[in-house]
Amino acid sequence: VLSFLAFGTFRSNVQGLNEFPEENWPDNIELLYYAFHIMVGLGTLFIALTGLATLLLAWRGRLFTSRPVLWALLLAFPFPYIANTAGWMTAELGRQPWLVYGLLRTKDAASPSVSSGTVLFTLIGFTGLYFVLGLLFVYLVGREIAHGPGPRGASHG
- Using pLDDT thresholds of 50, 70 and 90, give the confidence band for residue 142: very high
Identify the pLDDT of residue 123: 97
| pLDDT (0 to 100) of residue 52 | 86
- Contact 60/69 with Cβ under 8 angstroms? no
d(CA 72, CA 61): 18
Query: What span, in angstroms and rounded, lies between the C-alpha atoms of 83 and 41?
Result: 9
**What was the pLDDT predicted at 26?**
86
pLDDT tens, residue by residue, 31-82: 999 999 999 999 999 999 988 888 888 778 877 888 888 888 889 989 999 9
| One-letter identity of residue 129 | L
Instruction: Give the tens place of pLDDT for each residue, 85-108.
Output: 999 999 999 888 988 888 999 888
Burial label, 39 (beta-carbon count in 10 A; 0-12, 13-18, 19+) = buried
For residue 153, what pLDDT band results from cuts at 50, 70 and 90? low
